[in-house]
Amino acid sequence: MLDDDLFNGMSDDSLESLRHNIFTKYVATVETFVTPERLPTTSHGTLCHSQRVYYQIMVWMGMRNTMKTTEWGWKQEKYQLIQKPLFEIIQCNCSVGYNSYRCICRRYRIPCTAACGPCQTENFDNPNNFREVCTEDEEDDTDS
């Protein structure tokens, strides 16, 4: 297996166990912060990357019309294609609100998520605000 050679793993190691083993070795020996890019990818990350690479090769071979982009690791959001994992990790930490183009989420035309910063907790005009609103009935249930 290619990952075995790249990361000095055993042939029966899963990517997750290999990632964990390398992480624990780094933590034990490195004096600085362990950066994620020095670790092997997860199985899901490998699958998504492989799908996108395969799709790109098919595009280069002129077979784009025979494949649906959304079945190969991409997500369609309005009229824009974005990689699913990228869509899940983009987050802003804006303090000016969603209506400003300084908001990364707005710049990429995606909704803010619960992982976003002050725009989720402050009273900004964010149409995608994920703050939970507790109704009076729910408040009564928590008191008992």
Tell me the pLDDT of the chain (144 aa) as tens digits.
Answer: 444 455 555 556 677 777 777 777 777 776 777 666 667 777 777 787 888 888 888 888 888 788 777 777 667 766 666 655 555 556 677 776 666 677 777 777 777 766 677 666 555 555 555 444 434 444 444 444
Q: What is the pLDDT of residue 25?
A: 77
Same domain, 118 and 132: yes
Q: What is the pLDDT of residue 82?
A: 62
Same domain, 97 and 82: no
Same domain, 67 and 98: no
Same domain, 67 and 97: no
User: Whole-angstrom Cα distance, residue 104 to residue 107?
Assistant: 5
Same domain, 106 and 66: no
Same domain, 125 and 81: no
This prediction has a pTM of 0.40
Same domain, 82 and 112: no
Amino acid making up residue 97: G
Same domain, 81 and 26: yes
Contacts of 16 (CB under 8 A, 6+ apart): 42, 43
User: Whole-angstrom Cα distance, residue 143 to residue 82?
Assistant: 44
Same domain, 46 and 72: yes
The token pair that represents 40 in the structure block: 């092997």
For residue 58, the enclosing domain spans 2-91
Same domain, 17 and 69: yes
